[in-house]
Amino acid sequence: MTYFAPLRAESGVPSAGLPVDPLTQWNDAAPGAAAVFTRSQRWLLLAAFALLVAFRLPQAWVHGRFLDEEATVFLAYAWHHSLVDSMLRPFAGYLNLGATVPTALLAMLIRHAGLPLELAPYLTMTAALLAQLVPAALILTGRAAWLDARPAVVAALGIAVLAPATEEVFLNVLHIQFHLALACAAILALDVPRFRRAQIAYGTVLMLAPLCGPAAIMLVPLFALRAAIDRDPGRWRQCVPFVFGAAIQLLLFYGAAPVRAQGVSPVLVASAFTVRLIVLPLFNFGNADTLANAVEAQGGTLLWITAAIGVAVFGLMLAAAARVRDAGLWLALAGLGVAAATFGHGMVLPDPIRVTSPWAGERYQYLPLVLIGWALIALAMRGGRTRLIFAAPCLLMLMAGAARYPAPSPHLASGPSWPTEVAAWRRDHRHPLAVWPKPWTADLSGQTRPCSPLTGHLARSTDPRYCESGWVGSFFRNSEQVRKSGEGGEILH
């Protein structure tokens, strides 16, 4: 068994005089995916990746899906306000161009260009699908020693599309920010491209990602640190657009959000590492959910045991990664750093103990799961006697993800039919259009209501949900209903 041992395909080297191809290696013939796969093979891999993304939520294509705030906040706000105001509106503490621009343009096309409202979710789903292909395209075109083997490239793509209990980030513009942040992490782990066209493409991704959300901004210090350690001018040039995008976000749009005011204790964060980043990807969702429920119910000794396991496992992983300052180190730092920041301060939770639950804010575990998986691939590609130690968890992650692929989270797997909702709306424009998941609805009525400032008792706000005051109030009311009913599976924003 070769695990991730290098395996080259001589036919993967482009011949002189051939037409330029978007998936042609932009740097050199090797190392990387272009060295081990032919051009047509890389196109087939990208197509297979796209199909796996598209059909992870097959009912979304059958019924037409908007995921909650896609329609209840961003599309609804754009429906009632101007194009520019909708595009540049910060929400929940930051600007999310990945959500505001598509929904604002969509509202304009529906209202002024005659685009059928029935088609609306299919356009946002397609836009999100294209955004989700960006990290895969980088893996297939970038130059990096850790991708200099066919199994490594396939495993990297597989982990990105099969990460379990992460359907919340699939096929919606609301969470394009996570895929662009993943693309930034891929750039951090790839060699600096030599060709100008590739440099411009990388720089565009690095500038846009921070303008879609704070996830990418957490990687800025790692870019600067790698540039300083490698003493590579190309790395510093990558920092310029990245820092520029982050500065625009932080100086002009970023601000405090009432729902993100709480912090989570380091012990709970370490316990969440064990449940979400060890048990979930290696031993399936059911075991992770069972352990999370036990930690929530018992606390005490079990909480400390799970916290100790998380610290020990990832401490050893980081120590192994730090032996060589290659992609394995940077991916490990990126995955663990993003996890610590989001679990500790970025999540919105009715109760901090819920940070351990794989149900709670599935999107927050997507980046850490994929980045840690990629780090394991990079560590396995170093070779030596420890190769199996790192390759085995990768295989388990892929198996767990593939086993759960046909059975996505129930609250995200299906929902109301958008054409049916539109038909009811056409009969009465005051009809609130139901979106996924229940109980959220979008206000596309002809009546625009003013939004109250974010002060006072927001839990009692009667503002429409496209107002941030109304959104915060609905969040707290729904959390209280879930708490009283004892139901699980809620999306926590």
> Residue 473: which of 488, 489, 453, 487 has the closest Cα?
453
- Alpha helices (H) in 143-232, listed in sequence order: 150-162, 176-189, 196-208, 220-230
Assign 143 to helix, strand or coil.
strand
| Mean pLDDT across 406-416 | 91
Tell me the pLDDT tens digit for each residue of 72-111. Answer: 999 999 999 999 999 999 999 999 999 999 999 999 999 9
- The letter for the amino acid at 89 is R
Tell me the pLDDT tens digit for each residue of 384-403. Answer: 888 999 999 999 999 999 99
Residue 23 has pLDDT above 60, yes or no: no
Whole-number Å distance between alpha carbons of 270 and 210: 27
Least confident of 119-128, 275-284, 318-327, 481-490: 481-490
Is residue 74 within 8 A of residue 174, CB to CB? The reply is yes
Residue 489 has pLDDT above 90, yes or no: no
Whole-number Å distance between alpha carbons of 21 and 14: 10
Tell me the pLDDT tens digit for each residue of 163-176. Answer: 999 999 999 999 99
Is residue 326 within 8 A of residue 145, CB to CB? The reply is yes
Tell me the pLDDT tens digit for each residue of 353-388. Answer: 889 998 888 899 999 999 999 999 999 999 888 899
| Mean pLDDT across 317-340 | 96
Give the per-residue pLDDT at 367. Answer: 97
pTM assigned to the model: 0.90
Least confident of 114-123, 297-306, 459-468: 459-468
Tell me the pLDDT tens digit for each residue of 239-291. Answer: 999 999 999 999 999 987 766 656 789 999 999 999 999 999 999 888 999 99
- Distant-in-sequence, close-in-space partners of 259: CB < 8 Å, separation ≥ 6: 92, 348, 472, 475, 493
| Sign, CA torsion 492/130/75/432 | negative
